[in-house]
Structure 1
């Protein structure tokens, strides 16, 4: 099969473990808040294994969410996937998971408008400074890095103006300065571009756009590499991020046709 055929096969086959489908083709819609355990020992064990896709409480997710997380993780080639109620939430919560007072973030100057607003109106109030850099700066990003720079945020192609960034060159510089890299991959969608394969630490998508694809669900996703996944998972959970099982099911359904739909977009 061609590379494109392999990707489309992946889109229709991922996230279909028997534990999620219960004997039917698609993962079932499992709605839940409270989970019932046979014993107190089972409850305590589930509490300890937060990242093992075990039922514990609705905010951690159900098998419907786990199926979507598996599929998106496979699509992006990462260690794990966190779900959010929209793309803007994914961006803001990922940044809040890794930034603290006194830190500095490098933000691409053509970023999605809500991303800029979050930096200019929320992060600044938390004592986190932002410097905007030209999207085509490439390895020249080294001149913008400060001693307190913690995050390099990329968006490629960029919103509206569509500049494509030299991701490998910028990631190389970031790694040399111990700066983590985050990329808004909504346009790349995991099918056309997989940032983690080029060294990016966390790839974010507004799943509302191409993954869901039918203008009926708001959702954001963030896929992290092994180095940052546990922190992202834990902090997203502590920040109360969750999505509904019905929305997760619709995102899974949208994922199956993403390749076909993107061909029509082209």
Structure 2
């Protein structure tokens, strides 16, 4: 089954992350993509020089155009502000949604203000099939929920699940150094499911984008969540091996 994946997020001028990486990931999976740009950025691998969010009406028009052809899944990346989050929440179709909570760039530049984080929690979490935070993002979400950012991971995940998202894939790329990279899938009423692969000695930008968009592509093909995660992780691992 080949149904397009709607990719919602920012345009990274360096091509390393954001919609540029999303497109490559979806195409590598054999799916087609539709795009809705939330902002245009000027950045390098090391810093963000400028960010210009699009007008809410333009974002709405992009999503409406994409929905005319039918969508199999949605991947949401950088949203930048609460206004754009409200637009997306109002127009999301009834399909699987992967939410990558991009709160700052890899260089540390904030990409979502506090009001936007609260809007993400209130409006997007209840529509989310899989939330894909890394460890710093989980800590930031904990703070936004009124919790200690150093809270036990499982406690934060439990609160996120109680806010309506169906599952949380906690990415372990920022965990303590080891020879294994481990992502853990949490879902209400189910035991945690770990996904392990070798940890590489170097970093690549956009791997979180690639994983989330590959996961959305799998869901659009009709795979269940664990199957889609395994396929997406294989794509990320292949990119590391080719870059090594």
Q: What's the TM-score once normalised by structure 1's chain length?
A: 0.29
**Structure (1 or 2) with the larger CA radius of gyration:** 1
The structure whose RCO (Cα within 8 Å, separation 6+) is larger is: 1
Higher helix share: 1
Higher strand share: 2
